[in-house]
Chain A
Amino acid sequence: NAGVTQTPKFQVLKTGQSMTLQCAQDMNHNSMYWYRQDPGMGLRLIYYSASEGTTDKGEVPNGYNVSRLNKREFSLRLESAAPSQTSVYFCASSEGVAKNIQYFGAGTRLSVL
Chain B
Amino acid sequence: AQSVSQHNHHVILSEAASLELGCNYSYGGTVNLFWYVQYPGQHLQLLLKYFSGDPLVKGIKGFEAEFIKSKFSFNLRKPSVQWSDTAEYFCAVIGNTGGFKTIFGAGTRLFVKA
Contacts and interface: CB of A to CB of B under 8 A. Distances in A.
Contacts of A43: 44, 90, 92, 104, 107
B99 A50 contact: yes
B62 to A, nearest CB: 19
A74 to B, nearest CB: 15
A89 interface: no
A54 to B, nearest CB: 10
Given A101-B46, A101-B49, A42 B94 contact: no
A41 B4 CA distance: 11
Interface string B92-104: 1010100111111
Interface residues of B, number: 25
Given A41-B106, A42-B107, A99-B94, A104 B44 contact: yes
B90 A98 contact: no
A4 B104 CA distance: 19
A97 B49 contact: no
Nearest to A43: B104
B104 A44 contact: yes
Contacts of B22: none
Given A92-B44, A99-B32, A102-B36, 13 more contacts: A42-B90, A42-B104, A42-B106, A42-B107, A43-B44, A43-B107, A45-B102, A90-B44, A98-B94, A98-B96, A101-B46, A101-B49, A107-B43
